[in-house]
Amino acid sequence: MSKPVRILQVVNRLDVGGAETFIMNVYRQMDREKVQFDFIVHGAKKGMYVEEVEQSGGRIFQAPNFKKKHLLSYKKWWQLFFSKHPEYKIIHSHIRTTTPIIFYVARKNGLMTISHSHSTSNGHGIRQKVKGLSNYFTRNLSDFMFGCSDEAGKWMYGKKAIRSTDYQTLSNGIDLGKFRFDEKSREKIRTELNVNDTFLLGHVGRFAAVKNQRFLIELFPEILKFHPNTKLIFLGSGPLLEENQLYVNEKGLQDDILFLNKKSNINEYMMAMDLFLFPSLYEGLPLALIESQATGLRSVVSDKVTSDADLTGSISFCDITDKQQWLETIKHSISTNYPRNTQAEILRQHGYDIKRTATTLQELYLNLSVKE
């Protein structure tokens, strides 16, 4: 039996996050007799997916965190890595800023390069604009390009590039069966949280500036004024987690706003929620919104998120600068009962079945692996 093609996946860390969760969803669907994933992570922090990858036969390598003053040593690390590991013929990057450096070295060592856009912005300011210059080099050093949405593709590669045969928009597929709404799962989580008779607001996301969780914390006391029997749960970790926890304590809201950190059963927590809130400052096409819709959960979402995210008619978009609009929309949602109907078939028709996504990637990997 021939050995599987080993694909080198480049991520920040193997932890719960949009891009990382997406690639792990794909990994679980791969025919590992044909394709195996190995991962390069940045930094020493151990993520939630490390053990699963190792148990599935994947290898994990640790690259140094990138700093501009260490550009040459970062580049040297990659050259040394490729010299030690000639078995890799394909590299697939899910990060942004340093992809041009990685791909420059990879191509010199004969690898095929695949880039993947999971966002639509680097943010604002001079530093972010400089970081955005890396997009130009990424598209010119990529043998193949993916975007999680048309908007994400245009942002990273440009309108001309996404019309080429070397680009494809690839839906962030999920395991639709896992997110099929289940009343027993809903009751179990709500009992554990002691919120059986409470209207439960929820958010899933890494605690980083782009996710804008502070906005929800500032909004919450106003929500309590028109609906006191409400709680808000946050699921996720990240650099701003402690800062937000301290802010909640300062506001005296620690009994009503719960920080649940990372969870492996996000699907069940979404089933337990009554309304999903997503105030990001920018996004590609968020995996969390695909997951929430699969459970039949309604959402109130920042207008900075692409309208393409609303696949089931269950998302209300609000101006991120208009708190009153958010309050009115949330108030209307609380007062309106709705059936929790599973939306799996609609999402499948839109191409968000992880099996289809994984098949597309597996075929590409196998085709590229036989190219000279």
Domain map (residue ranges) of the chain: 5-173+353-369, 183-349
pLDDT at residue 290 is higher than 60: yes
Q: For 4, which DSSP code?
A: P
pLDDT tens for each residue of 150-160: 888 998 999 88
Checking if the pLDDT of 240 tops 70, the result is yes
pLDDT reading at 128 higher than 80: no
Helix, strand or coil, per DSSP, at residue 201: strand
pLDDT surpasses 80 at 69: no
* pLDDT tens digits along 181-231: 999 999 999 999 999 999 999 999 999 999 999 999 999 999 999 999 999
The CATH number assigned to the domain with range 183-349 reads: 3.40.50.2000
Residue 283 tokens read as 């996004």
Instruction: Tell me if residue 246 falls in helix, strand or coil.
Output: helix
The whole-angstrom distance between residue 213's C-alpha and the CA centroid of its chain comes to 16
Beta carbons of 13 and 239 less than 8 angstroms apart:
no
Tokens for 278, please give them.
């997503």
Nearest C-alpha neighbor of 281 from the set 172, 135, 121, 151: 121
What are all long-range contacts of 153-158, with beta carbons under 8 Å and residues at least 24 apart? 153/117, 155/117, 155/119, 155/120, 155/121, 156/96, 156/115, 156/117, 156/119, 157/117
Give the pLDDT of residue 126: 56
Task: Show Cβ contacts of residue 44 under 8 Å, excluding neighbours closer than 6 positions.
Answer: 62
pLDDT band at 122; cut points 50, 70, 90: low
Q: What percent of the chain has pLDDT over 90?
A: 76
DSSP codes joined into one string, 96-157: STTHHHHHHHHHHTT-EEEEEE--S---SSHHHHHHHTHHHHHHHH-SEEEESSHHHHHHHH
The H or E element containing residue 220 is: helix 213-226
Instruction: Using pLDDT thresholds of 50, 70 and 90, give the confidence band for residue 36.
Output: very high
pLDDT at residue 42 in the model: 92
Of 69-78, 123-132, 289-298, least confident by mean pLDDT is: 123-132
In angstroms, the CA 124 to CA 127 distance is 8
Chain segment 310-343, per-residue pLDDT in tens: 999 999 999 999 999 999 999 999 998 888 888 9
Average pLDDT over residues 141-170: 91
pLDDT at 262 over 60: yes
Q: Which helix (H) or strand (E) holds 318?
A: strand 315-318
pLDDT of 124 over the 90 cut: no
Q: Do domains 5-173+353-369 and 183-349 have the same CATH topology?
A: yes
Contacts of 237 (CB under 8 A, 6+ apart): 15, 16, 206, 207, 261, 262
Give the C-alpha separation, 372 to 369, whole Å. Answer: 8
Residue 64 has pLDDT above 60, yes or no: yes
Strand, coil or helix: what is 228? coil
Taking CA 153 as the corner, what is the angle to CA 6 and CA 155, rounded to the nearest 5 degrees?
125
Dmax (CA) for the chain in angstroms is 66
Q: Percent of the chain, pLDDT > 70?
A: 96
pLDDT tens for each residue of 79-106: 999 999 999 999 999 998 899 999 999 9
Confidence of residue 33 (pLDDT cuts 50, 70, 90): very high
DSSP string, 270-296: HHH-SEEEE--S--SS-HHHHHHHHTT
pLDDT band for 284, please (50, 70, 90 cuts).
confident
Cα(212)–Cα(63) distance, integer angstroms: 29
Query: Where do we find the tokens 């030690």?
Result: 84
123 pLDDT exceeds 70?
Answer: no
Instruction: Summarize the confidence of residues 66-71 as an average pLDDT.
Output: 79
The letter for the amino acid at 370 is V
The DSSP annotation for 60-105 comes to EEEEPPP-GGGHHHHHHHHHHHHHH-TT--EEEE--STTHHHHHHH
Asked whether the beta carbons of 357 and 192 are under 8 A apart, the reply is: no
Residue/partner pairs of 153-160 with CB below 8 Å, 24 or more apart:
153/117, 155/117, 155/119, 155/120, 155/121, 156/96, 156/115, 156/117, 156/119, 157/117
User: Tens digits of per-residue pLDDT, 5-28?
Assistant: 999 999 998 988 778 999 999 999
Q: Are 299 and 290 in contact (CB under 8 A)?
A: no
CATH class, range 5-173+353-369: alpha beta
| pLDDT at 368 exceeding the cut of 80 | yes
